[in-house]
Chain A
Amino acid sequence: EDKVVQSPLSLVVHEGDTVTLNCSYEVTNFRSLLWYKQEKKAPTFLFMLTSSGIEKKSGRLSSILDKKELFSILNITATQTGDSAVYLCAVSGEYGNKLVFGAGTILRVKS
């Protein structure tokens, strides 16, 4: 059975801190790993990773995938209160259509 495990489940940091969120997975015929940010309503897409070792970057956020060790990390530098959200990790396997989600990491950034 395909599985995605995120850690930590929640964390609280102060503005300006750097955080690292973790995602490990077990999936048949891995196709891609995705990160989403959810701030109460619709999850919004952040990154899609398909190849090991290639960092994806968008502003203060970056992510990398290790297909050998079956995990990904999402880094947020110089955190702001607007980064407070649930961060979801998901993987797609065989056929590339369905996503399996982790439970998410709740991030709270205090000012």
Chain B
Amino acid sequence: DGGITQSPKYLFRKEGQNVTLSCEQNLNHDAMYWYRQDPGQGLRLIYYSQIVNDFQKGDIAEGYSVSREKKESFPLTVTSAQKNPTAFYLCASGAWGAQPQHFGDGTRLSIL
């Protein structure tokens, strides 16, 4: 079945550690997105990519990094510079310049 797979479902980060969240899609979508969801704040855009080897900062990119080496994959690294990383992270994909976006099941990141 076509869809978006995020892993792991739960992740714990130690202070000073970088962690990487995985996002894979087999929908043949050009565009991929990373969002952060905090209680009461809806979804906020971290990074997005419209094609391989190209990505753009969203509204809250500080402390995060991404890569897009393959069309199917868009991993997100939460670096030690992100001082408040505890949140629910959602990956999405869609046709570039069109809606809707389709979402993965998310990764819940917590601090140890």
CB pair A101 B106 closer than 8 Å: no
Interface: B64 (CB within 8 A): no
* Closest B residue by C-beta to A45: B100
Interface size for chain A: under 10, 10 to 19, 20 to 34, or 35 or more residues? Answer: 20 to 34
A103's partner among B31, B41, B94 (CB-CB below 8 A) is B41
A-B pair number, CB within 8 angstroms: 56
Whole-angstrom distance between the alpha carbons of A90 and B104 in the complex? Answer: 17
From DSSP, what is the main secondary structure of chain A's interface residues? strand
Whole-angstrom distance between the alpha carbons of A105 and B94 in the complex? Answer: 24
Contacting residues, chain B, for A43 (C-beta < 8 A): 43, 90, 103
CB pair A42 B100 closer than 8 Å: no
A82-105 interface with B by 8 A CB criterion: 88, 90, 92, 95-99, 101-104
Interface: B42 (CB within 8 A): yes
Chain B: minimal CB distance from A10 (Å): 10
Contacting residues, chain B, for A90 (C-beta < 8 A): 43
B42's partner among A96, A97, A102 (CB-CB below 8 A) is A102
CB pair A41 B97 closer than 8 Å: no
Are A98 and B42 also in contact (CB < 8 A) when A41-B106, A92-B99 are? no
CB pair B100 A103 closer than 8 Å: no
**Apart from the given pairs A34-B100, A96-B97, 13 other A-B contacts in the complex at a CB distance below 8 Å:** A32-B99, A41-B105, A41-B106, A42-B104, A43-B103, A44-B103, A88-B42, A88-B43, A96-B98, A97-B97, A99-B33, A99-B43, A103-B42
